[in-house]
Structure 1
Amino acid sequence: MLIDDNEIDNLINQKMIEAANISENIYVHSGAKSAIEFLKNVEKLDSVAETILPDIIFLDIDMPLMDGFQFLDLFDKLSEATKKKCKIVMLTSSINPQDISKSKNYTYVKKYINKPLTQQNINTLEV
């Protein structure tokens, strides 16, 4: 899943993931609010939720309406099964040391990557 308010970044990142051939389905959200609603709705599907939930969520930090950290706070309220399945990778242009440090407070944030997403980043994910 890609969550970024920049449509061009989403398109480029989607193409990089497709080229790496690491995913059958790529969900793209241009806002954190729609992404969290999507995850909440998938949870309601019970038996098939596990197959629909993304393995990796690439999350931008600086977005209008709901930023990446607000998303993480709401993500924390989702089911244990969702939090266990979905690994989060911060994919952002922020080089602010406070953002990097803050992201480490969330156990399901597995990596912090600066944009753009590259094949090398994808190959070394190990989440």
Structure 2
Amino acid sequence: MDKGLTILAVDDDIINLKLIHSMLKKHTDIESVIEATNGLDALNIVKETENINLILLDIKMPVMDGIEFMENISLLPEKHNIPIIVLTTDETKKHQSFESGAFDFLVKPIREHELYEKILKIKNLL
């Protein structure tokens, strides 16, 4: 993969989104970060955007939560294989997240090096 990654970050907390965005923009192999504040907005972005390589997904959100988002994206044949890393404060959602299609799981507060290691693991698979 020559171009940098395009990452969709989904979180209803604007401060968390900005924090994730600033963490990711430090890395030259991340080309762009798209932001959404709930699962429904994220689903629409995924449908309309060609080149999303990875989704960072909060679980607890209004309108459509992260689990519902993963269930919905699994119904889109051309999009269901985008890797998803769940980022949440609720560790009890780990099993359900993996059952719903998550590739990886991180408990907030997010540490930049842990997040980046997981992103690199995915980038190496692309």
Mean CA deviation greater in 14-23 or 65-74: 14-23
Mapped to 2, the partners of 1:41 and 1:76 lie a distance apart of 16
Counterpart residue number, 1:82: 79
Where does the alignment leave 5 or more consecutive residues of structure 2 unmatched? 1-7
Distance (whole Å) between structure 2 residues aligned to residue 91 and residue 21 of structure 1:
22
Alignment correspondent of 1:106: 100
Alpha-carbon distance, 1:21 to partner: 2.9
The sequence identity of aligned pairs, in percent, is: 21
SS at match of 2:40: helix
Alignment of 1:1-127 (within 5 A): 1-42=8-49, 49=50, 52=51, 54-79=52-77, 81-84=78-81, 86-96=82-92, 99-107=93-101, 109-125=102-118, 126-127=121-122
Taking structure 1 as the reference length, the TM-score comes to 0.81
- The answer for unaligned runs of 5 or more in structure 1 is 43-48
RMSD of aligned alpha carbons = 1.4
Partners of 1:21 and 1:29 lie apart in 2 by: 22
Structure with greater strand percent: 2
Alpha-carbon separation, structure 1, partners of 2:116 and 2:32 = 18
Q: Is the 8 A contact 2:10 2:42 kept in 1?
A: yes
Q: Alpha-carbon deviation of 1:111?
A: 0.7
**Structure 1 segments of 4+ aligned residues over 4 angstroms from their partners:** none
Q: Higher helix proportion, which one?
A: 1
Normalised by the length of structure 2, the TM-score is 0.82
Instruction: Provide the C-alpha distance between the structure 1 equivalents of 2:116 and 2:36, rounded to a whole number of angstroms.
Output: 23
